[in-house]
C-alpha cells in the first residue's frame, strides 16, 4: 500500500494529466478544432485505427467482401488518436464520444452514422445477413458473447493494461485487482472453448471477431507485454482458437488496415481498394521527405 493514503476532496478538480495518454485525456466532450472528414468513393466510410476495437470492424468488412458482398466495399481513413484526430468537428459529428471506430453508411438516401464497435458489428452483420445467425438460440448466444466482450474489456484495457503498462506509477493494489479480473475472464473463455470450436459452437460469428483482437492478442503476448505475468500460455484453448482464427485470409487483411505501427509490410495506413494490400503497404510507399 502507498505510504500516504489519498483522501478525495468534496469536489474533484482536474490536475495536469500524466502518463502516455495525458495529451488526449480531458473531462469534457465535444470538438477541439474544426476539421471535416474525408469521403471516398465507396458506400461505407470507416474512420479508425488498428487498435483491437478498430480491428474488429476491418476484419468483418474483409470477411463480408470475401463472401462476395460488394456492398461492403469501404474506404478506411486513419484516425491518429495520439494527435487528437478524434476531437475534430467532423469526427465528433459521427461519434460524439470521440472514440474509434466510427462508420458512415452512405449507401441509402440518407447517411447513417454508427459508433461503438459492437454496434458497428451488429449493424453490418444485419445489413448483409452474415456472421450473425438467424435462429433465436444462436443469435442470442452470439449477441451474449459480443456484449460480454464489450462489457468485460474495459477491465482489460482501462484496468489491467493501464495500470500494468501505462500508468506513471506502479500501484500494487490496482495491478492485483485488475490482473485477478483479467485472469478470471480468460478462464471464462478457456472453459467455453474447451468444448467449442468458436464462441457459437462450430459457427464463426461477429462474437469471434470482437473477442479475437483483445483476448487472442493477450494470450499471444501481443498486448501490454504481460504474457508471462498472467501465465498466458496456460490458456491453451484460447490459444488454439486464436491461431485458428488468425489463419483466415480476411483476418490477415483486416488486422493491418489503419495500422501505422509495427512491421512496415503489415502497415496499411488507408484502405480504398482491395489492391492496396499488395500495392500500398508502408514498405512499398516512397519515404516521406
Return mean pLDDT, the chain: 95
Task: Report, as an integer, the average pLDDT of 222-240.
Answer: 96
DSSP letter, residue 216: I
CA end-to-end span of the chain: 50
pLDDT higher than 80, residue 141: yes
DSSP labels for 235-277?
-HHHHHHHHHHHTSHHHHHHTTBT--SS-GGG-BS-BSSTTHH
The answer on pLDDT for 155 being more than 70 is yes
* Per-residue pLDDT at 289: 61
Confirm or reject CATH 3.40.1390.30 for domain 136-253, answering yes or no.
no
Report d(CA 238, CA 143) in Å as an integer. Answer: 19
pTM of the entire structure?
Answer: 0.95
| Domain spans in the chain, listed from the N-terminal domain onward | 136-253
What band does 286 get if pLDDT is binned at 50, 70 and 90? Answer: confident
CA R_g for the chain:
20
pLDDT confidence band for 18 (50 / 70 / 90): confident
Amino acid at each position: 500500500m502507498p505510504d500516504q493514503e489519498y483522501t478525495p476532496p468534496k469536489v474533484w478538480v482536474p490536475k495536469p494529466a500524466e502518463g502516455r495518454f495525458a495529451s488526449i485525456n480531458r473531462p469534457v466532450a465535444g470538438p477541439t478544432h474544426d476539421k471535416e472528414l474525408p469521403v471516398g468513393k465507396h458506400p461505407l466510410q470507416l474512420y479508425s485505427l488498428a487498435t483491437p476495437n478498430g480491428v474488429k470492424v476491418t476484419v468483418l468488412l474483409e470477411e463480408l467482401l470475401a463472401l462476395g458482398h460488394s456492398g461492403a466495399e469501404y474506404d478506411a481513413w486513419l484516425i491518429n488518436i495520439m494527435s487528437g484526430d478524434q476531437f475534430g468537428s467532423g469526427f465528433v459529428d459521427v461519434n460524439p464520444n470521440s472514440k474509434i471506430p466510427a462508420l458512415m453508411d452512405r449507401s441509402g438516401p440518407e447517411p447513417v452514422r454508427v459508433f461503438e464497435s459492437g454496434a458497428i458489428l451488429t449493424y453490418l452483420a444485419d445489413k448483409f445477413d452474415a456472421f450473425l445467425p438467424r435462429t433465436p438460440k444462436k443469435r442470442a448466444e452470439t449477441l451474449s458473447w459480443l456484449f460480454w466482450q464489450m462489457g468485460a474489456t474495459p477491465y482489460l484495457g482501462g484496468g489491467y493494461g493501464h495500470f500494468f503498462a501505462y500508468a506513471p506509477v506502479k500501484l500494487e493494489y490496482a495491478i492485483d485487482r485488475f490482473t485477478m479480473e483479467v485472469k478470471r475472464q480468460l478462464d471464462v473463455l478457456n472453459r467455453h472453448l474447451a468444448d467449442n470450436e468458436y464462441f457459437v459452437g462450430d459457427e464463426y460469428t461477429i462474437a469471434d471477431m470482437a473477442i479475437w483482437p483483445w483476448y487472442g492478442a493477450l494470450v499471444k503476448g501481443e498486448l501490454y507485454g504481460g504474457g508471462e505475468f498472467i501465465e498466458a500460455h496456460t490458456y491453451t484453448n484460447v490459444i488454439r482458437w486464436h491461431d485458428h482464427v488468425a489463419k483466415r485470409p480476411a483476418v490477415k487483411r483486416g488486422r493491418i488496415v489503419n495500422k501505422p505501427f509495427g512491421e512496415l509490410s503489415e502497415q496499411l495506413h488507408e484502405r480504398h481498394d482491395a489492391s492496396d494490400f499488395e500495392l500500398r503497404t508502408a514498405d512499398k510507399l516512397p519515404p516521406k521527405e
